[in-house]
Structure 1
Amino acid sequence: MSQKGRLFIVSTPIGNLQDITSRALQVLNEVEAIACEDTRQTVKLLNVFGLKKRLISYFQPREKQKIPLIISILEQGKDIALVSDAGTPGISDPGFPLIKAAIDGGIEVIPVPGPSALTAALSAAGLPTHRVLFIGFPPVKRVGLKNFLQKVAEEEATLVFFLPMRKFKQFIEVAREVFGPREAVLAREITKIHEEFIRGNLDNLASELPEDRLKGEATILIRGK
């Protein structure tokens, strides 16, 4: 029986392309194919570093449809890299179903660590990091969001959320209702030219941000109880 390939979980830059590691570039250069969230984004990244690879589109909500193809390539003894548009695959990005299928199939899964909005935000926010609860993207609708936040209101850990900036004001309003004036940090455009960390509390955080900066995605950190 031939040896199975390996599935590499490769972190890619979240903004600054210089943050890619030499190991990540080596892996991307050596694998048979790259499973990626958006082929257009991955092509741009590969072009910057002069790489050309077969790309397999792998995105939510069609993750499960592509798993048989990817697993079949791995079972032929060929290596595949999994990347997301930015950051670390599987961290509020596509990845878990494929990784689980690979593990269940006896395929070696190898992390290639690197950029992550989660760890970058935590490292510079100035909030306690000895205990952290990563939420990812919270419920979108106001009622669902409030119910969800009430469930984590007693947590002592620093809470970390990913959030589309268009939902920022609603999130802050609901968070203020649930948590009160807790210490909080908004981290946006991390590693990019206009990177900023807005530190304060849930009462004043919204007032610090004008309408023209309510774009893209951000990381919001709230101190635990």
Structure 2
Amino acid sequence: MAEVLGTRVDILPRREIEQKILAYLKAKSEKSYFIVTANAEMCYRAAQDRALQTALNTADLCVPDSIGVRWALRRQGLAAELYPGVELAEWILKQGFSVYVLGAKAEVLQRLNFPNIVSKHHGFFDADAEKSILAEIQRLKPQVILAALGAGKQELWLSRHKNDLKSLLIGVGGAIDVISGCKTRAPKIFRKAGLEWFYRLLREPRRLFRQFDLLRFGLAVLREKQG
């Protein structure tokens, strides 16, 4: 276990992460199991937001998701294997366990077709709809809940409700857009070079503002190391 800007990160091989997940699901526990896939932007936001950092640090497992987090860990002399949320979500969907998907747009969910998805609900809901969502989840008892409400928001939501849900809980951000085929993931050459963020920026220039958080993250890591 290590920390990146105060957020706990678990350094485990991908296979061990999968084994932990399978062990939890096969045990049919009466408690939830909350997994965070942490990227640089999320770690930076958490350093500014105590509620978010508490949510991340009380998760059962925090998996390094991005090249920025791996770089920060490397500066501490730690080697971490990444497990991007999109790959983790896709792996889970292929295991055959019952899954509830919460988040993304309605048109995206329409294109997400896996036989083990028991229900889906888009990510735009008010307090009344939230009650209905929670009631449906408790009725269906899915083994897995994939929340795609956006980085930070989904972790806060899952943390707030984890004591009421007896499922594997994972915040997967934009993974559902990619898995459904609505968006294209960066080619391997970009991913291997650690430039997936740059590919996304080329495809979605409106993401430029979000890249400033990556710069702030890098500066914060450098300052922390110097301090």
Q: What is the TM-score of this pair, normalised by structure 1?
A: 0.37
More helix by share: 2
User: Quick check: which one's strand share is greater?
Assistant: 1
The alignment's TM-score, normalised by the length of structure 2, stands at 0.37
